[in-house]
A and B are shown apart, each in its own frame.
Chain A
Amino acid sequence: MIDDHLVVETPGDREIVLSRMFDAPARLVFAAFTRPDLLVRWYGAGGWRLVECAVDLRVGGYWRFVSQGPDGQRMGQSGHYRQITPPHRLVYTELFDDQSYPGETLVGHDFTELAGRTTVTTTLRFDTPDGRATALRYPMARGVTESYLRLAELLATTAEGRS
């Protein structure tokens, strides 16, 4: 496990909350979350990269990202901005093109600066509890973290062996 102080919690029946500190002022972090030229440089994981990034940064404005995976597979996601308060808060809706669960997810980022460092707290509110469960399975289902898949198999085997 990487010691990067990323905290992930699952409060209530349909939320995921992620919290992480960055060594930069809120102004820069907010820019990294809202400027396409910056978003394409970090958004994505496990070999996935943004190949399309359109941002209409105003309330009601449309955004759309298209990511490309290591084997050339594509994934699109889009939504509308609901609240834009630079550099403190950003709220938007999110819907994946191939989403298997119903409804849009409401994504809120809070940027809290203290002594030149910024804590980003992201709250994902899914439309249904099932949506959250499906989203939690996404990274492993996509094979982005194969080491954890092996871990899950190991744990399952261990549990079966014990029961």
Chain B
Amino acid sequence: MHIDLDATFAALADPTRRAILARLAGGEATVTELAAPFAMSQPAISKHLRVLERAGLISRTQVAQRRPCRLEAGPLQEATAWLAAYREHWAQRYQRLDELLDELRAGEEARAGEEADAAEQARAAERRGGETT
């Protein structure tokens, strides 16, 4: 199976459509049932459903007078897997950056420590100098 990732992400970009998918994850629902929690007309919801249907994220079946919508998990799971791989790629990069930053910070702290020691020694030498004259 190969999905149109572009269509999937475009469909998922809208908060109303994500909410519809979340509702359908709990089971089939009709347009009327889906429209209920939103301050939206049924035609507006139907428009969102068409986008989700084209992206393969939902399907609709004719059951007598009803056309309930159901979630199609495949494309959603595949898109999630692609995203997880992409994330993992960056996570690996950033772990190496963590190590580098730890080293840079430790280096700076060590240098700051040495400078403080040197300044302290200089002050001590000055005090000794003052005592002898």
- Chain A interface (Cβ within 8 Å of chain B)? 1-2, 4, 6, 8, 10-13, 16, 18, 20, 22-24, 28-29, 31-32, 38, 41-46, 129-130, 132-133, 135-140, 144-145, 148-149, 151-152, 155-156, 158-160, 162-163
- In the complex, which residues of chain A have a beta carbon less than 8 angstroms from the beta carbon of B78? 152, 155-156, 159
Q: Cβ of B13 and Cβ of A11 under 8 Å apart?
A: yes
Beta-carbon contact of A46 and B92 below 8 Å: yes
Give A122's nearest chain B residue, CB to CB.
B90
Cα–Cα, bound, A16→B101 (Å): 25
Q: Mark B36-57, 1 if CB is under 8 A from A, else 0.
A: 0000000000000000000000
Residues of B within 8 A of A (CB): 1, 4-6, 9-10, 12-13, 72-74, 77-78, 80-102, 104-105, 108
Consensus secondary structure, chain A interface: helix
Identify which of A23, A24, A130, A137 gathers the most chain B CB atoms within 10 Å of its CB: A24
Q: Which residue of B lies closest to A128 (CB)?
A: B6
> Which A residues are in CB contact (< 8 Å) with B101?
22-24, 28-29, 32
What are the residues of chain B within 8 A of A31 when measuring CB–CB?
A: 104
Question: Which of A4, A10, A149 interacts with B94 by CB under 8 Å?
Answer: A4
Given A4-B94, A20-B94, A162-B73, A38-B100 contact (CB < 8 Å): yes
Task: Give the complex CA separation of A34 and B81 in angstroms.
Answer: 31
Contact B87 A42 (CB under 8 A): no
Not counting A2-B95, A6-B94, A148-B88, a sample of 20 additional A-B residue pairs whose C-beta atoms are within 8 angstroms of each other reads A13-B10, A13-B13, A20-B94, A22-B97, A24-B104, A28-B108, A29-B97, A32-B100, A38-B100, A38-B104, A41-B96, A45-B92, A129-B10, A133-B4, A140-B86, A152-B78, A152-B81, A159-B73, A159-B77, A163-B74
Cβ contact within 8 Å between A23 and B81: no
